[in-house]
Homo-oligomer: A and B are copies of this chain.
């Protein structure tokens, strides 16, 4: 399959978004021990989650976030873009156990199979027509085509994806019961890790020849 040379760049910008997003992975977060603990992302010490910005420096603006107002750039190999409203971009979410994303899709765009290590995801379709599917640990595939206003839920930790099956672009707002749900994006996890998972592990696991593994890996190399 031919990829325009520019697409590596696009893929990378997509990867950047995904890498920002999944630095953490979650379950039900520990409960907050105060009204709020706005994250100090540049604290000198690192703890489970983030230390709190001094309460004296917290203002009303800390509790509101503009980052989801912009349409995401879908000109990448997947034709989709995730914009994260999580503790890394919206520090007030620290200790509060919730986050939200906007996901934009070009026509035919796919949010590739991935899992959120410790968060259940729920979402509402705002625009367009999306196929939403997930696979249980019992390997049962559940899916449905949704349009504006319809809601879905993806049980915690299961592999799922969305595909824009409409004629125009699509948009969904997703919520997670975690301040940073994390994302194990399978194409990257399996074929774009640093260093690489050994070829013989992947050939045995997926029952393919080495050249298939190398071909897929080349698509994600940067």
**Residues of A in contact with B (beta carbons under 8 Å apart):** 1, 3, 19, 22-37, 40, 43, 45-49, 51-55, 60-61, 63-70, 77-79, 85, 90, 92-93, 95-100, 102, 108, 110, 112-113, 115-118, 120-124, 126, 131-144, 146, 148-159, 161, 163, 173, 175-180, 182-184, 186-198, 200-209, 212, 215-216, 219-220
CB–CB B35/A46 < 8 A? no
The one of B19, B45, B54, B135 that contacts A197, using a Cβ cutoff of 8 Å:
B135
The one of B124, B158, B207 that contacts A25, using a Cβ cutoff of 8 Å:
B158
Of A27, A69, A132, the most chain B CB neighbours within 10 A belong to A27
| Copies per assembly | 6
Of A97, A178, A180, the most chain B CB neighbours within 10 A belong to A97
A13 to chain B, nearest CB (A): 15
